[in-house]
Chains A and B, each alone.
Chain A
Amino acid sequence: MRVALFITCVNDTLFPGTGKAVVSLLRRLGCDVDFPAAQTCCGQMHVNTGYRTEGVRLARHFTEVFAGYDAVVAPSGSCAAMVREQYPKLARPGSKGAAAIAEVVPKVYELSEFLIDVLKVEDVGAYFPHRVTYHPTCHSLRGLRLGDRPTRLLQHVRGLELVPLPEAEECCGFGGTFAVKNPAVSAAMGADKTRSILDTGAEVLCAADNSCLMHIGGTLSRQKTGVRTMHLAEILASTEEAQ
């Protein structure tokens, strides 16, 4: 299976470790992973902030780059949701763009979906001896409906103790440019989220979206809590040898 990694612009630029983790995880599970170098950004920031023209251009670019693959895997619930939910609304019905989108969209998977629905694995052979809590980010939860896929994967990780997060389904307050446009509300939401996290006594907060983790992690770090944030891929890629 020819699997393309869609790293996403945020991961590419700020969290390359997540990309490396996806590559090593997928290879360990026998996939032939490619990274189409021409990829850039899904266009979510532009579309969601009201810059549709730029967003449409980026969507077109995305469909061109990923046209020939069997599957496209993105370690981001929010970018996968952008492609799956919003792309079909960006092109005029019946247009060439709409056809290209219809072709690519069904092949785009968020990482945990790809592992469970396509590769059919729940135990990815990971080892991570820490107390972890999981935050289902809004786009993973209500956009992609990932359900318990991520936590099923985490439950199979050896050594890992998964503790439930109170008010898990509450938005963390990131929301892309929302965090900058409505800073007071965003910060208040972030503070409530970190309080819930601290209540669990977990050492690590895990999620399938680095952008939300950047906001929550930035808040945790400013509060000097000592709780780390890690992307799901990094925990799943971790093995006994790597520890």
Chain B
Amino acid sequence: MSATFLGMPGNFPKNAEKAVQNSQLRFNLRKATHTIRGKRASVVGELPDWQELRAAGKAIKDHTLRNLDRYLVQMEEAVTRAGGTVHWARDAAEANRIVADLVKATGETEVVKVKSMATQEINLNDALAAEGITAYETDLAELIVQLGDDFPSHILVPAIHRNRSEIREIFLEKMPKVPDNLTDDPPALAEAARLHLRERFLKSKVAISGANFMVAETGTLVVLESEGNGRMCLTLPRTLISVVGIEKLLPSWRDLEVFLQLLPRSSTGERMNPYTSMWTGAVEGQDFHLVLLDNGRTDVLADEVGRQALRCIRCSACLNVCPVYERAGGHAYGSVYPGPIGAILTPQLRGMGSDLDASLPYASSLCGACYEVCPVAIDIPEVLVDLRAKAPHAAAERAGMKVAGWIFNDHTRLAKAQRVATRLRKLVPKRLPGPLSAWTDTRDIPDIPEESFRDWWERNERA
């Protein structure tokens, strides 16, 4: 597996510029996002009470987050009562160490994984590799990413940036025992992956999972998936370790009902997902460990505007409608959370210390499409604007904004500035210098008029 996203060089605009030039990538992304976008819209349209459901989802999550301390303790008690063991991890290093120690205690050197963003976030696979433990992804898209020594680029479809002929090549090169005559037919590719994975499932004694939800009242974990690999991982191995972000909690089963409607429709555009697995504590013959991961979440919770990002149920609807994601691709965001949610979650979890993280709040035109589809009504544009106020600003920009603010503060200054512009109108070059060249590279600038509106009004109305 490739190295972590953390510390990725560059910044969003530069990464995006490269992606925009890759026409194959743009084609793949456009096709995939538009297909799923259409499916989502039609199944959401079927529900007359979608907006009420959405409001309920938001309210339940907000309530849970407000009382997170209480529900987490309740969760711990319930899991323990059911024979599981709960571990608390403050950050990535702590979580990785806990998991590595648990695996080492079993004496195994191989583990199977069902797709989990939390373990991607903490880069668990590399941490395990450093301890001599190999982690095998079992979700088809994750498998493609892992075999291709690549990064995930979408929440739901991590290999969305690959097309089937690229996938065929990855399989031929990296998958042992793959037939030489493998075609790029989707069923043939899926069958090759199935045979490959079946062997892993049957051999593995340890599995690592994430969870879509945790129900505090009973200590139950819930995973929704489409391929059945999750069910295999959760039931076959002798030791099951689940790494889950603390925000995935719900108080009760009644609350879960709302999300079992919101998630599949928003995510895959289906009325119901094919596999829903739930488990409470340890089942017979199995050892169960739950690692509750903070890794910056409590800091996000402390932020009045930004905390709404913790409502996210990782459905990926916002990615699929985002025009910026569609052109820039998921890798440009340099995080396991790409797209609109990544643009607000990543800089909150990691801070804005790197160029990349400081550029993420600007990776949006604020068109609002993400807010409109979000099943838990996260006002992503609002959080983006709030983060921009907290982001470091370049000195030149700060100076420019100060001057603009000074001019706008007084209409006589504005009028003077307009008259200067009018006088210089013939001198404005077709290609602008400095940062403004970004405008004139692809667009003409409008002509500056002979007279501003306010001067025209003054001349006609006040005379």
Contact = CB atoms under 8 A, between A and B. Distances in A.
A222 B367 contact: no
Given A178-B365, A214-B446, A217-B446, A50 B421 contact: no
A28 interface: no
Interface residues of A, number: 66
B439 A179 contact: yes
A178 to B, nearest CB: 5
Interface stretch (A51-59, A121-129, A155-163, A199-207): A51-59
Contacts, number: 189
Given A40-B414, A180-B436, A51 B363 contact: no
A189 B453 contact: no
Interface string A175-192: 111111111111111110
A37 interface: yes
B365 A218 contact: no
Interface in B141-177: none
B444 A218 contact: yes
A65 B18 CA distance: 46
A222 B425 CA distance: 19
A45 B328 CA distance: 24
Contacts of B414: 9, 12, 40-41
Nearest to A7: B453
A216 to B, nearest CB: 9
Contacts of A52: 389
B409 A40 contact: yes
A185 B327 contact: yes
Contact of B385 (A16, A40, A47, A58): A47
A143 interface: yes
Contacts of B366: 48, 138, 175-176, 178
B12 A182 contact: yes
B189 interface: no
A8 to B, nearest CB: 9
A189 B402 CA distance: 30
Contacts of B391: 50
B324 interface: yes
A45 to B, nearest CB: 7
Interface string B377-408: 00000100101111101000110011011011
Contacts of A46: 401, 404-405
Interface stretch (B66-74, B94-102, B276-284, B368-376): B368-376
A35 B365 contact: no
Contact of B438 (A7, A11, A183): A183
Contacts of B407: 40
Given A16-B453, A57-B405, A187-B442, A182 B436 contact: no
B275 interface: no
Contacts of B454: 7, 12, 35, 37
B3 interface: no
B283 to A, nearest CB: 47
A45 B404 contact: yes
Contacts of B438: 179-180, 183
A234 B100 CA distance: 68
A66 B17 CA distance: 43
A180 B439 contact: yes
A189 B327 contact: yes
Interface in A72-93: 86, 89
A124 to B, nearest CB: 21
Given A40-B410, A51-B393, A215-B443, 4 more contacts: A7-B454, A170-B323, A190-B443, A222-B443
23 contacts: A7-B453, A13-B421, A14-B446, A16-B451, A17-B449, A35-B453, A43-B408, A45-B404, A50-B387, A50-B388, A54-B401, A169-B369, A171-B369, A175-B365, A175-B366, A178-B362, A178-B365, A179-B439, A183-B438, A214-B446, A218-B443, A218-B445, A222-B442
Interface of A: 7, 9, 11-17, 19-20, 35, 37-41, 43, 45-52, 54, 57-58, 61, 86, 89, 138-139, 141-143, 169-171, 173-191, 214-215, 217-219, 221-222
Interface of B: 12-13, 16-17, 20-21, 26, 323-324, 327-328, 361-369, 371-372, 382, 385, 387-391, 393, 397-398, 401-402, 404-405, 407-411, 414, 418, 421, 435-436, 438-439, 441-446, 448-449, 451-454, 456-458, 461
